Chain A
């Protein structure tokens, strides 16, 4: 009964999204405020309904109710509790339900905290969000219903893909989805603004917290996915330019451009055309990612579904939403009034440059991801576009952009002075040059590019610090007043500096981990040792072990530095019994920002195993940098200008808390 209740709630949610799609939209374009008022309560009700069905599906997983087909196909009664829970979204149907849940969650947030928005904009935004939601719930009900029942329930399920049986599944998809789907709300805002002809500075201001929120989660989600792949796949790599990774990276690039472009629109009412287009593109790329992952076009861990009907359905949705919004854009964009003018060397100019490079980089990733697929579809020829392509296209685009990053926030609006900016940055430049020379001195000329890369990362970090310091004029007014001025800086200034600092940290991690890593792949017998980067890794032997739903071969290693034991690692190779599928669990020893990484390969018999041993200097900076970037987004969300504009004083507090519930 409970399961059918959840099913009914989902069907009811579908019918209600149709009502949401029609009534507020009609009210918004005709100015009927009663009809517009329907949007907010219905958006909250929609969230409650989808939440009910999500909870019900979760209960079915937790109680191993094998009368639900989805549970049979993806769960197993012997699975640990956590993976029964995370297994809810570790499959196609359940993850689509999570997707829809986040769609309506963002709708409900706008409905609940959108008191400062004009009624017509809010009504239309929620109506557009309703169209998107209706499309996806229909997709669920028509092609991938998670509540489909089994008449003669079996006693055991097929278990969850073992690679997904990891704490990573509890974190990575929800974060990524909040990011991905969060951009739906900026999309809805953009479509609503085009319909209403209301594309002004105030619009950019209203969209800003939603963009920041989505961007923050997308950054964390991508970083988490990268770390997960790093320790679970056992190859020692952290980014593979895999189409599925690219599918999440493209919206990130477009979203980052959107974030910057919206600043110009808010401050100067310029770049409207850009900003609206980027809002549409960002969500379109999210949808494209969904299509690539769900349609069976790609084969990967993420490719849950290989049913062509689903692919066709999503392709249809994709065409309707992207085509529809772009057609609307083509019709309305020429009517947009151009806003403030600015000189090429100015804050606006810097942000335009940033947009150009980010969109070009996004285009490079787009081509590299889709070209092999299109070629395969048309000629049947299979080519693989890998790291070399992206290193030659994406890399060169990033270098000038990163060199320019510290200049942007220092230039003034409208008309900037490049020479003055350079003077302000000479300390940062000095530090970066010093670090470059130091790295050359350490490593000699054998790796020419790496010290330059280190210098680039340090340049971005030092630039961010010096931007904050010059803002408060620390060197002119003394420490004490400087610190009090630090407190007084607006959140957005802090956000900029922190996020840019994070970019520098990530760049530094990428350069050091790829250029200076040490790698050994060899067969080891018990007692054998490997020397790398001052560490001695000794293989003590391997033994079988039994987990709740797997058996594993565990290798025991001792890591010594200068003869002193610093750590013991137990990397393993598992075989999950239900699916007879092997996985690897890497052994990782973290020291400072660096890591020693061990991964087991084939067993050679008589106790010998193939082992991959890596030393990865400063690799954790890659992910720490991403976390710092998202902290920057949180600072920006805390900016006081994002809290104003609530019509009633009593609402002021709730509006300020708008981003809080999702944190």
Chain B
């Protein structure tokens, strides 16, 4: 409301700037004009006199200049500015008033409604960062913690809090950096080391780099029984081409493990690949780097659900009852992870058919498909 009052006041002020001078009586323009001319020429005459008195110019030159200026003075006073008839003038004034009262506000308002966003509030950064935490997006919350950490860079727990958040919003590099800070300040911690190694691995498209290896090694030295770091170390051996050592590591890892554990399937697949006997379940040469990148940022339960529940159950439910855009995207993603591109394409076509009426949702689906490399044919 305040906004509308303000712009109305501003418009009124602009209109008045036109109306007030229109309503005043004026002396005829011609007289004023010749007065202005004359003032200039009279001053020129004075200058000539002054220069002569100072000896800056010769008397003959001064005389010639005076004659010239006097001629200009004469022609200036002869100048007649043409003026219009009185009746025509009142018509002119009416048109001008009309322009000020009707055209000015109407044009401004129309153009503003077309260009502006009157409903959008100001959003200064400080207000956004200091407002209540509830209802804020993850980005805002992250930025707040970042700001806090920029001011208190030695807050180790703060770094430990934000590190897993970076993982969930897809910034593994930042996550690794945050873990490194937390470790530097608070001291060694097997879980953080493992998670840092995982973040570094994901940041490098599934490749276990030297830094990541160092982190996993350290984690194992702190907690020799931990499965996760050993899992990645075995993976690293395989990536380095040290097949025999890798096979030994996998076998040691799988020894006496509960078969229901989620990671066991992946470990067996790796082992089988190293031994040259690809398992029948996953009809492909083995997990690619991308697959690891996609699956390893989920917990073991997630992956289990994905493989067993989602692919069969979700597909059935979606084809029977339909579902949300997110669910369709999830399904396509799941198929791609399993390497079943044909089924993913089919899912995409089904999804496009289901949302054919809704352009917004369609574009969301298409975006997701693009990311997965699906064409929808």
Contact = CB atoms under 8 A, between A and B. Distances in A.
Contact of A414 (B64, B108, B125): B64
Interface stretch (A14-22, A288-296, A617-625): A14-22
A19 B100 contact: yes
A34 B21 contact: yes
Nearest to A63: B124
Interface string B91-103: 0110010011001
Given A201-B44, A645-B43, A45 B21 contact: no
A66 B124 CA distance: 7
Contacts of A646: 39
Interface in B215-271: none
B32 A118 contact: yes
Interface in B7-41: 7, 10-11, 13-14, 17-18, 20-22, 24, 26-30, 32-37, 39-41
Interface residues of B, number: 75
A3 B28 CA distance: 44
Interface in A25-42: 26-27, 30-38, 40-42
A5 interface: yes
Contact of A41 (B21, B30, B61, B122): B21
B187 interface: no
B29 A36 contact: yes
Given A11-B111, A485-B54, A647-B36, A34 B61 contact: no
Contact of A119 (B11, B32, B99, B107): B32
B21 A64 contact: no
B84 interface: yes
Given A15-B108, A37-B22, A2 B122 contact: yes
Q: Which of A14, A35, A40, A412 has the most CB of B within 10 A?
A: A35
B283 interface: no
Contacts of B93: 32, 34-35
Contacts of A2: 122
Given A19-B18, A40-B21, A45-B14, A77 B36 contact: no
Interface stretch (B112-120, B343-351, B359-367): B112-120
A63 B125 contact: yes
B115 A414 contact: no
A474 interface: no
A8 interface: yes
B65 interface: yes
A473 B121 CA distance: 71
Contacts of B128: 153, 155
B18 A644 contact: no
A206 B27 CA distance: 22
Contacts, number: 223
A43 B254 CA distance: 85
Given A34-B26, A145-B115, A488-B54, A12 B10 contact: yes
Nearest to B50: A490
B10 A413 contact: no
Given A8-B112, A8-B116, A15-B107, A647 B125 contact: no
Nearest to B34: A118
B73 to A, nearest CB: 10
Nearest to A151: B120
A26 B28 CA distance: 16
Contacts of A393: none
A36 B92 CA distance: 12
Given A11-B112, A23-B99, A49-B14, A149 B29 contact: no
B104 A118 contact: no
A44 B17 contact: yes
A48 to B, nearest CB: 8
A8 B108 contact: yes
B43 A641 contact: yes
A120 interface: yes
B115 A7 contact: yes
Contacts of B32: 33, 118-119, 647
Contacts of A202: 36-37, 40-41, 72, 76
A38 B21 contact: yes
B57 interface: yes
Contacts of B112: 7-8, 11-12
Contacts of A121: 33
A201 B40 CA distance: 9
B120 to A, nearest CB: 5
Interface in B48-106: 54-58, 61, 64-65, 68, 72, 75-76, 81-84, 88-89, 92-93, 96, 99-100, 103-104
B18 A27 contact: no
B123 A65 contact: yes
Nearest to A200: B72
A274 B306 CA distance: 83
A67 interface: yes
Contacts of A195: none
B143 interface: yes
Interface in A42-93: 42, 44-45, 49, 52, 60, 63-67, 77
A40 B125 CA distance: 40
A1 to B, nearest CB: 5
Contacts of A485: 54
A1 B84 contact: no
A31 B125 CA distance: 54
A31 B79 CA distance: 13
B126 interface: yes
A118 B34 CA distance: 7
Given A116-B39, A118-B37, A65 B81 contact: no
Nearest to B22: A34
B33 A66 contact: no
Given A31-B29, A155-B143, A18 B107 contact: yes
A3 B2 CA distance: 13
B83 to A, nearest CB: 4
B281 interface: no
A65 B36 contact: no
Contact of B104 (A15, A34, A488): A15
A116 to B, nearest CB: 6
Contacts of B103: 15, 18-19
B151 interface: no
B205 interface: no
B47 A45 contact: no
A561 interface: no
B353 interface: no
A33 B93 CA distance: 10
A38 B32 CA distance: 16
A119 B26 CA distance: 11
Nearest to A27: B92
A362 interface: no
Contacts of B7: 5, 8, 12
B92 A35 contact: yes
Contacts of B75: 200
Given A7-B115, A33-B28, A33-B29, A66 B37 contact: no
A242 B117 CA distance: 41
Given A4-B117, A202-B41, A34 B24 contact: yes
Interface of A: 1-5, 7-9, 11-12, 14-16, 18-19, 22-23, 26-27, 30-38, 40-42, 44-45, 49, 52, 60, 63-67, 77, 116-121, 141, 145, 147, 149, 151, 153-156, 200-202, 205-206, 268-269, 340, 412-414, 471, 473, 485, 488, 490, 641, 644-647
29 contacts: A1-B2, A1-B121, A5-B10, A7-B115, A14-B111, A15-B108, A23-B18, A30-B92, A31-B29, A32-B92, A32-B93, A34-B26, A34-B89, A35-B92, A38-B21, A42-B18, A45-B17, A63-B124, A64-B125, A67-B120, A118-B29, A119-B29, A119-B32, A141-B115, A154-B139, A268-B68, A414-B61, A473-B55, A641-B43
Q: Which 3 residue pairs across A and B have the least CB separation, nearest first?
A: A118-B33, A63-B124, A645-B39
Given A3-B122, A16-B14, 16 more contacts: A4-B118, A7-B112, A8-B108, A11-B116, A35-B22, A37-B26, A52-B10, A77-B125, A118-B34, A118-B36, A119-B32, A149-B117, A155-B128, A200-B76, A645-B43, A647-B35
